[in-house]
């Protein structure tokens, strides 16, 4: 078997810059969401019902959630998933004949390819590729394996055809403590916040006119909307989990001597601004 080799690929070129870019996107989105929360964009108001019956609470939208957030989340997902393909190519390129390296397009094993790694490892596999395969086997990027990595792959694949739509879902309440009220806010329900949609039920001992003035601040989570397979998952938590899983794989490749370590002190960041 012919032996090939190449100098160890720098972490940046091996996909590390895409990981950092994804982290920047996640930090940016977190800052935008926090600023949005501080503007108190959602509340619940009373929709009177006939006398003797509880009043319905309905959502009032003071400010719409920016649609650009879905694109930011999609960019983070794309960078994290594509970084693994760059990592795989960088780690295994030394096992490819120099004349074939330019067109070398092997991807990080996922789906059936990840499930079949045991069979491939029983064959003739060059040293660097063998080490990479063992790491990919532990990563288990397939349905029924590592759910987080598989969801990352599926979300990345979906993003090629549709942009994620994010939604605000009720996460709690901040009722006015100075008012006599009894609030039924079903804990088992987490409805999507939309103008005029039902938010719960409200009993009060105040006179009718006073009830009409009640506004209850609505705490909320930002989730993926109709985007499968992430529908209903909290956005920042999900993206942070994807980030951690990808960084764990990068660390394993560095420890195995397949790519170089990240630069110290964040030297990869663009300091020009």
pLDDT of residue 204: 60
Q: Is residue 186 part of a domain?
A: yes
What residues in the chain have per-residue pLDDT under 70? 1-8, 50-53, 94-105, 172-190, 203-213, 227, 265-273
Domain count, the chain: 1
Q: Is residue 178 part of a domain?
A: yes
Q: What is the 3-state secondary structure (H, E, C) of 154-217?
A: HHHHHHCCCCCCEEEEEEEEECCCCCCEEEECCCCCCCECCCCCEEEEEEECCCHHHHHCCEEE
pLDDT of residue 147: 96
Q: Is residue 222 part of a domain?
A: yes
Q: Is residue 21 part of a domain?
A: yes
Going edge to edge, which strands form the sheet with 55-61? 166-174, 215-224, 42-47, 55-61, 198-204, 181-184
pLDDT of residue 203: 65
Domain around 243: 12-262
Q: Is residue 220 part of a domain?
A: yes
Q: Is residue 122 part of a domain?
A: yes
Q: Is residue 269 part of a domain?
A: no
Q: Is residue 1 part of a domain?
A: no
Residue-wise pLDDT for 174-223, tens only, equals 454 434 444 555 544 557 889 988 887 776 655 455 555 677 888 889 99
pLDDT of residue 90: 87
Please report which residue ranges of 93-126 form alpha helices under DSSP H: 112-115, 117-121
Q: Which helix (H) or strand (E) holds 21?
A: helix 17-38
């Amino acid at each position: 078997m012919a032996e090939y080799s190449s100098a160890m690929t720098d972490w940046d070129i091996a996909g590390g810059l895409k990981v950092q870019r994804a982290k920047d996107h996640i930090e940016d989105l977190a800052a935008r969401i926090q600023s949005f929360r501080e503007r108190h964009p959602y509340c619940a108001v009373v929709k009177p019902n006939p006398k003797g019956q509880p009043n319905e609470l309905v959502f009032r939208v003071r400010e719409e959630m920016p649609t650009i957030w879905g694109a930011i989340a999609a960019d983070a997902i794309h960078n994290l998933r594509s970084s693994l393909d760059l990592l795989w190519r960088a780690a295994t390129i030394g096992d490819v004949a120099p004349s074939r390296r330019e067109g070398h397009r092997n991807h990080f094993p996922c789906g059936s390819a990840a499930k079949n790694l045991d069979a491939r490892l029983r064959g003739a596999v060059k040293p660097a590729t063998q080490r990479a395969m063992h790491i990919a086997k532990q990563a288990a990027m397939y349905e029924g394996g590592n759910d987080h990595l598989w969801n990352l792959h599926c979300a990345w694949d979906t993003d090629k055809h549709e942009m994620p739509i994010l939604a605000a879902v009720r996460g709690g309440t901040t009722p006015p403590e100075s008012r006599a009220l009894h609030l039924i806010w079903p804990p088992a329900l987490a409805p999507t916040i939309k103008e005029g949609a039902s938010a719960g039920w409200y009993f009060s001992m105040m006179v009718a006119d006073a009830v009409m003035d009640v506004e209850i601040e609505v705490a909320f989570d930002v989730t993926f909307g109709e985007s499968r397979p992430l529908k209903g998952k909290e956005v920042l938590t999900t993206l942070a989990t994807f980030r951690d899983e990808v960084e764990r794989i990068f660390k394993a490749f560095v420890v195995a001597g397949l790519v170089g370590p990240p630069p110290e002190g964040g030297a990869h960041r663009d300091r020009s601004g």
